[in-house]
């Protein structure tokens, strides 16, 4: 840790707005008094912005409006003054075409809210998939003291005697409904199940993956991530975030003073031990880019080779976040992989990660396994099958692609099959129920134009449904390849994030139905069998797909977005070159 700092009141950035004895300072104080605030309430105190991604169309964050009151109590009791600021609410399920299109929008909004207003520090309230990286990217770029307050997972539900959660179970029941194993009244009744209360998905989907990663990076209070949204402990955690944010302002504990490459590597180790979502492979390079830290896909593969999956959570396992919380949550899990962490990495508590997790033991070895008996045990002929992530390269993905072997079928990890290529998600959906579809269990399903530019926004189309005729034959998994992402709650042998994507002319754009594709996980290769002459002929004939977005945010997105291996940030937002403070006239 850098030498301790104790800022003086005059050094706080809010004082530029509030303390000056000129007409501008007068106007700022006047306008706060206009809201009924007494001068003494806000003068002479750190001002904390509560960036809240609450909205009525964001069910995972439905409780955050009320929860902000707890944050405010903490800020006030620590001698600060809080202002709640609404920010783009990215409820994963409702926002179309995909929240990924708007992650950078939220990151820009968070950064510019922090920059343009009289704020000394921030509490970032989010949790649904893209909100966590979006808020953290903004805070890293603005670089003022900021603490992340995770929304917390929803409670477990039970159905017909089994514990059921969001996402993963919906997909299972949908497959049963598709083949007639569930009738329509039961299917409708299931709408009221699985998502029992406000909070983020209670499986180890993208939400809990990302909140856990930022906790391991030191951005949250220890253990904050797994506290159920509806637990009284969640309000107490929110209160503590408010209190700590004020202290961080006096300590000038901004991200650049505690976030290092080691913080990111700790986050990756947590991700692997949790068997977390492949989506983190896009968000981590984007977050690192904002801190000016280089992170490559190879870093993920290297750590995944060392750190076993020890969290028994859906979709890799069979327990839910509530069980994991009772078992000790992330501090307990991190203690079990302590040898893979840099425990000297610093955190928002002002202490090291090692100090934060000291003494946190696991109370349920079924939920958080001992690394000696990990959750996923690979068969002898496929040692890679236990890994939470593998990175492949090859003539189909020169800049890389990712797969989650622990959620895949081991025998498909070494597989050659005939490609069945779809140019769009709509085309694929129209074909997949065709009883005459030319596909068998060895077919390799390929979906293109699902990348950052092509989607646009890299939608979660990569978990292509198994064709209905094959489901009826009992086929439950096939090798699937795309430049899209897949939901963190899904499973299957899916090679995702193929880079460069097809819409910008990556090799994926050139393959055709009938080509032979080989995945060789041992060699970390994904290749298509084509001669140089075939490549050249197809490349000469290729035309980029027509883009219908001539204006608006989507146009800006397509012009600025980087490829999946680079994090899909906007080119102009990455890097940590200093941005001047706004002049106050």
Report, in Å, the least distance between residue 92 CB and ligand FES: 3
Considering the complex, state which of residue 228 and residue 459 has its C-beta at the smaller distance from Mg ion: 459
> Is residue 322 part of the contact set for Mg ion (CB under 5 A)?
no
Report, in Å, the least distance between residue 135 CB and ligand FES: 14
List interacting residues with ligand FES (CB under 6 A): 60, 92-93, 128-129, 166, 200-201, 205, 207
Supply the Cα-derived Rg of the chain in whole angstroms.
Answer: 24
> Is residue 315 part of the contact set for Mg ion (CB under 5 A)?
no
Site string for Mg ion, 111-150 (x = CB under 5 A): ------------------x---------------------
Considering only 185-193, 203-211, 373-381, 390-398, which stretch makes contact with Mg ion by CB under 5 A?
203-211
Report, in Å, the least distance between residue 320 CB and Mg ion: 15
Site string for Mg ion, 39-68 (x = CB under 5 A): ------------------------------
506 touches 498 (CB < 8 A) = yes
Considering the complex, state which of residue 120 and residue 129 has its C-beta at the smaller distance from ligand FES: 129
> Two tokens at 24?
């501008």
CA angle 511, 488, 477 (to 5 degrees): 55
Element (H, E) at 507: none
Considering the complex, state which of residue 202 and residue 356 has its C-beta at the smaller distance from ligand FES: 202
DSSP character at residue 203: S
Report, in Å, the least distance between residue 112 CB and ligand FES: 24
- Residue 32 partner contact from Mg ion, ligand FES, none using kind-dependent CB cut-offs of 5 to 8 Å: none
The closest alpha carbon to 317, from 383, 361, 268, 364, belongs to 364
What gap in Å lies between CA 189 and CA 504, rounded to an integer?
44
Phi first, then psi: what are they for 249, rounded to 5°?
-65, -50
In the complex, which residue's CB is closest to Mg ion?
A: 206
Classify 65 as helix, strand or coil.
helix
Report, in Å, the least distance between residue 107 CB and ligand FES: 18
Site string for Mg ion, 486-505 (x = CB under 5 A): -x------------------
CA distances from 148 to 106, 122, 177, 343, 527 (A): 15, 8, 39, 20, 41
Residue spans of beta strands (DSSP E) within 32-79: 47-52
CA distances from 74 to 84, 136, 228 (A): 13, 21, 20
What gap in Å lies between CA 20 and CA 14, rounded to an integer?
10
105 touches 1 (CB < 8 A) = no
Considering the complex, state which of residue 205 and residue 507 has its C-beta at the smaller distance from ligand FES: 205
* Secondary structure string (H, E, C) spanning 273-332: HHCCCCCHHHHHHHHHHHCCCCCCHHHHHHHHHHCCCCECCCCCCCCCHHHHHHHCHHHH
- Residue 200 partner contact from ligand FES, Mg ion, none using kind-dependent CB cut-offs of 5 to 8 Å: ligand FES
Considering the complex, state which of residue 28 and residue 497 has its C-beta at the smaller distance from Mg ion: 497
- Residue 487 partner contact from Mg ion, ligand FES, none using kind-dependent CB cut-offs of 5 to 8 Å: Mg ion
What gap in Å lies between CA 41 and CA 565, rounded to an integer?
48
Considering the complex, state which of residue 18 and residue 229 has its C-beta at the smaller distance from ligand FES: 229
> Is residue 278 part of the contact set for Mg ion (CB under 5 A)?
no
Considering the complex, state which of residue 59 and residue 500 has its C-beta at the smaller distance from ligand FES: 59
Considering the complex, state which of residue 277 and residue 493 has its C-beta at the smaller distance from ligand FES: 277
In which region does residue 394 sit, left (phi positive, over 0), alpha (psi from -120 to 50) or beta (all else)? left
What gap in Å lies between CA 214 and CA 271, rounded to an integer?
10
Considering the complex, state which of residue 460 and residue 515 has its C-beta at the smaller distance from ligand FES: 460
Report, in Å, the least distance between residue 241 CB and ligand FES: 19
Classify 200 as helix, strand or coil.
strand
Considering the complex, state which of residue 277 and residue 574 has its C-beta at the smaller distance from Mg ion: 277
Report, in Å, the least distance between residue 477 CB and ligand FES: 23
> Two tokens at 132?
């966590």
Out of 52, 206, 226, 312, point to the residue binding Mg ion (CB under 5 A). Answer: 206
Considering the complex, state which of residue 19 and residue 93 has its C-beta at the smaller distance from ligand FES: 93
Site string for Mg ion, 92-111 (x = CB under 5 A): x-------------------
What gap in Å lies between CA 369 and CA 308, rounded to an integer?
10
Q: Which residues contact 58 (CB under 8 A, 6 or more apart)?
A: 89, 90, 91, 94, 128
CA angle 186, 190, 194 (to 5 degrees): 155
Site size toward Mg ion (CB under 5 A) is 5
What gap in Å lies between CA 378 and CA 533, rounded to an integer?
40
- Residue 128 partner contact from Mg ion, ligand FES, none using kind-dependent CB cut-offs of 5 to 8 Å: ligand FES
Binding site for Mg ion (CB under 5 A): 92, 129, 205-206, 487
């Amino acid at each position: 840790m850098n030498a301790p700092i104790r800022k003086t009141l005059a050094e706080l950035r809010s004082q530029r707005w509030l303390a000056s004895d000129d007409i501008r300072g007068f106007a700022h104080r006047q306008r706060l008094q206009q809201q009924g605030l007494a001068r003494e309430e806000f003068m002479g105190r750190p001002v904390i912005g509560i960036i809240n991604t609450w909205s009525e169309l964001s069910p995972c964050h439905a409780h955050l409006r009320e929860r902000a009151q707890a944050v405010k109590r903490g800020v006030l009791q620590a001698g600060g003054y809080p202002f709640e600021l609404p920010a783009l609410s990215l409820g994963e399920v409702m926002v179309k075409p995909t929240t990924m299109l708007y992650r950078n929008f939220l990151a820009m909004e968070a950064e510019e809210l922090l920059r343009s207003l009289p704020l000394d520090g921030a509490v970032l309230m989010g949790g649904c998939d893209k909100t966590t990286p979006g808020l953290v990217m903004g805070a890293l770029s603005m670089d003022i003291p900021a603490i992340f307050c995770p929304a917390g997972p929803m409670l477990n539900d039970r159905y017909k005697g089994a514990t059921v959660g969001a996402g993963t179970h919906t997909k299972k029941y949908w497959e049963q409904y598709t083949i007639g194993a569930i009738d329509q009244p039961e299917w409708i009744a299931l709408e009221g199940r699985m998502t029992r209360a406000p909070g983020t998905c209670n499986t180890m989907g993208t939400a809990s993956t990302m909140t856990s990663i930022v906790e391991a990076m030191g951005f949250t209070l220890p253990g904050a991530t797994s506290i159920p949204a509806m637990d009284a402990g969640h309000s107490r955690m929110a209160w503590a975030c408010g209190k700590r944010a004020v202290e961080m302002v006096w300590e000038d504990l901004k991200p650049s003073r505690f976030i290092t490459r080691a913080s990111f590597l700790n986050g990756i180790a947590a991700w692997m031990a949790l068997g977390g979502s492949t989506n983190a492979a896009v968000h981590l390079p984007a977050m690192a880019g904002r801190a000016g830290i280089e992170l490559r896909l190879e870093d993920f593969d290297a750590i995944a080779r060392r750190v076993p999956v020890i969290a028994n959570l859906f979709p890799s396992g069979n327990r839910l976040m509530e069980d994991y919380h009772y078992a000790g949550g992330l501090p307990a899990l991190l203690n079990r992989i302590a040898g893979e962490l840099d425990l000297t990495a610093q955190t928002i508590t002002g202490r090291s990660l090692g100090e934060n997790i000291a003494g946190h033991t696991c109370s349920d070895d079924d939920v958080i396994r001992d690394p000696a008996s990990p959750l996923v045990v690979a068969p002898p002929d496929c040692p890679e099958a236990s890994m939470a992530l593998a990175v492949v390269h090859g003539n189909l993905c020169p800049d890389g692609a990712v797969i989650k072997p622990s959620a895949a079928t081991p025998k498909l990890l070494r597989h050659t099959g005939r490609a069945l290529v779809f140019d769009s998600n709509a085309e694929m959906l129209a074909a997949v129920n065709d009883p005459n579809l030319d596909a068998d269990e060895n077919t390799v399903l390929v979906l293109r134009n699902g990348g950052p530019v092509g989607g646009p926004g890299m939608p979660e189309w990569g978990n292509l449904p198994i064709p209905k005729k094959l489901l009826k034959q009992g086929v439950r998994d096939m090798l699937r390849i795309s430049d899209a992402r897949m939901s963190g709650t899904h499973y299957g042998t899916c090679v995702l994030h193929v880079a460069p994507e097809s819409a910008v002319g990556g090799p994926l754009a050139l393959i055709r139905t009938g080509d032979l594709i080989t995945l060789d996980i041992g060699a970390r290769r994904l290749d298509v069998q084509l001669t140089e002459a075939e490549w050249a002929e197809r490349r000469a004939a290729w035309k980029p797909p027509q883009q219908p977005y001539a204006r608006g945010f989507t146009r800006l997105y397509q012009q600025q977005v980087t490829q999946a291996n680079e994090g899909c940030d906007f080119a102009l937002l990455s890097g940590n070159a200093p941005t001047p403070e706004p002049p106050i006239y």
